[in-house]
A and B are shown apart, each in its own frame.
Chain A
């Protein structure tokens, strides 16, 4: 589904990604963890070209995102993204947030998009909020709407950029529940997160990125119980001692 080869990304003279290779199979749930500033979000944002890679190759669903012939908007519709700060459209109702993509990008009829949008809001448990505006929602509700908004494009993969980092602790659970449900339904997911519990329970593979490189990866059991990389041990030690 996603093939990243030798990805490099610099901001000015600062190189933040120093050669990342990553393949994500259809239906796979990959969690990316790592300290702040390690470049994990940047890798994710390169996948749908919100950040333009400096060099390397990224293939998403058969499309080379760097190729001139590729229409990036088509790729983005196939690769949904959920942001840390939700980024809902504040001037639109919850339902309009969800139906905008289907109407404008998928050319769906308005009526049909509303039925579809309501079914997605039902799926994330927010059908009763369809006519509310984003500012009337809690953080957890906003993030669930954002997930419904990206699902509305019927994407082949969803990229989650620290989806629970901006939430009050008691609201994290409801968002993770929805993500778990998606994972069980077979959605391909790449999740940048600090939720070790989620990674452990849901991920097929966990990846540790530090200093712009993948330092270690593996299935969660092995990854968390028997980490080999020194930096990962240190990182897990710090994260887990806080729990």
Chain B
């Protein structure tokens, strides 16, 4: 029997996917939020004047970037509880994984942006009597943040798509919901097409939003 595309299945599936979408969004927003905090911290530690602090940040960044997120997810969700004896709820685990994973990449974005600011800015800040921290806060960081926007947008999109890997630890996010629907109706073509469409809408929204932020900041000069 020849394959017959059923467009109505795509339409019917989308409302069912909304349940998964909610989780995907929760994990993405939570993961990116904490990932940004973690990444900002690690990025700044990476350029610390203290050798050991730089090393610690470096080990974090290298070990996360150097291992697949799928392995990190399995390790945190199945491995760590065996050693520690505490089971982490899947959604919390998902947020932690996205945060820790994106944090490593964001750290490099932050480091690059901060180091790209002309050293004269730090000297000018210090020359009027500001402390290192004050100069970082009022002079370097606002300028660096602006330069981070495009690569951050990129990372946010990657993190959003990476939440689909969390299906392996039983998080009922978008991808897993799609899989569950397929298990019932066997319409893999239509269902995964619908899943893909939802991801596409989300990623396009993120890139538009980042473009908007970028434009707003550039009319503010600097």
**In the complex, are the beta carbons of A133 and B128 less than 8 A apart?**
no
0 or 1 for each of B108-144: is its CB under 8 Å from A? (1 = yes): 0000000000101101111111110010001100110
**In the complex, are the beta carbons of B121 and A100 less than 8 A apart?**
no
**In the complex, are the beta carbons of B123 and A100 less than 8 A apart?**
no
| A82 nearest CB neighbor, chain B only | B127
**In the complex, are the beta carbons of A87 and B118 less than 8 A apart?**
yes
**In the complex, are the beta carbons of B124 and A88 less than 8 A apart?**
yes
**In the complex, are the beta carbons of A73 and B142 less than 8 A apart?**
no
**In the complex, are the beta carbons of B118 and A91 less than 8 A apart?**
no
**In the complex, are the beta carbons of B128 and A105 less than 8 A apart?**
yes
Given contacts A87-B123, A135-B221, contact A100 B128 (CB under 8 A): yes
Contact of B120 among A77, A85, A149 (CB under 8 A): A85
Contact of B138 among A74, A80, A100, A133 (CB under 8 A): A100
Chain A interfacial residues counted at CB < 8 A: 26
Q: Which of A141-157 contact B (CB under 8 A)?
A: 149-150, 152-153
**In the complex, are the beta carbons of B123 and A76 less than 8 A apart?**
no
| B125 nearest CB neighbor, chain A only | A89
**In the complex, are the beta carbons of B221 and A101 less than 8 A apart?**
no
Rounded to whole Å, the gap between the CB of B117 and the closest CB of chain A is: 10
| B132 nearest CB neighbor, chain A only | A73
Complex CA distance for A76 and B143, rounded to whole angstroms: 23
**In the complex, are the beta carbons of A104 and B222 less than 8 A apart?**
no
Does B4 have its Cβ within 8 Å of any Cβ on chain A? no
Complex CA distance for A104 and B138, rounded to whole angstroms: 10
Contact of A50 among B121, B126, B134 (CB under 8 A): B126
**In the complex, are the beta carbons of B123 and A91 less than 8 A apart?**
no
Q: Which of A98-114 contact B (CB under 8 A)?
A: 100-101, 104-105
**In the complex, are the beta carbons of B129 and A133 less than 8 A apart?**
no
Given contacts A104-B138, A133-B221, A135-B221, contact A87 B128 (CB under 8 A): no
| A74 nearest CB neighbor, chain B only | B129
**In the complex, are the beta carbons of A104 and B139 less than 8 A apart?**
no
Chain B interfacial residues counted at CB < 8 A: 21
Give the chain B neighbours of A224 by CB distance below 8 A: none
**In the complex, are the beta carbons of B120 and A91 less than 8 A apart?**
no
| B142 nearest CB neighbor, chain A only | A91
**In the complex, are the beta carbons of A91 and B127 less than 8 A apart?**
no
Rounded to whole Å, the gap between the CB of B132 and the closest CB of chain A is: 9
Given contacts A90-B222, A91-B220, A104-B138, contact A76 B146 (CB under 8 A): no
Give the chain A neighbours of B134 by CB distance below 8 A: 104
**In the complex, are the beta carbons of A80 and B127 less than 8 A apart?**
yes
Rounded to whole Å, the gap between the CB of B200 and the closest CB of chain A is: 35
**In the complex, are the beta carbons of B126 and A101 less than 8 A apart?**
no
**In the complex, are the beta carbons of A73 and B146 less than 8 A apart?**
no
| A133 nearest CB neighbor, chain B only | B221
Give the chain A neighbours of B222 by CB distance below 8 A: 90-92, 133
**In the complex, are the beta carbons of B126 and A76 less than 8 A apart?**
yes
Given contacts A50-B123, A83-B123, A104-B138, contact A91 B221 (CB under 8 A): yes
Give the chain A neighbours of B131 by CB distance below 8 A: 73
| A149 nearest CB neighbor, chain B only | B128
Give the chain B neighbours of A76 by CB distance below 8 A: 126-129
Give the chain B neighbours of A16 by CB distance below 8 A: none
Give the chain A neighbours of B220 by CB distance below 8 A: 91
Rounded to whole Å, the gap between the CB of B139 and the closest CB of chain A is: 5
Sample 7 A-B pairs with CB under 8 A, ordered by A number.
A73-B131, A85-B118, A88-B124, A91-B143, A101-B130, A104-B130, A133-B221
6 tightest A-B contacts by CB?
A: A91-B222, A77-B129, A87-B124, A133-B221, A101-B128, A87-B120
Chain B: residues with CB nearer than 8 A to chain A? 118, 120-121, 123-131, 134, 138-139, 142-143, 146, 220-222
Beyond known contacts A83-B123, A91-B143: 20 more, CB 8 A cutoff: A50-B123, A50-B127, A73-B126, A73-B129, A73-B131, A76-B128, A77-B128, A81-B127, A87-B118, A87-B120, A87-B121, A87-B123, A90-B222, A92-B222, A100-B128, A101-B129, A104-B130, A105-B128, A105-B130, A153-B129
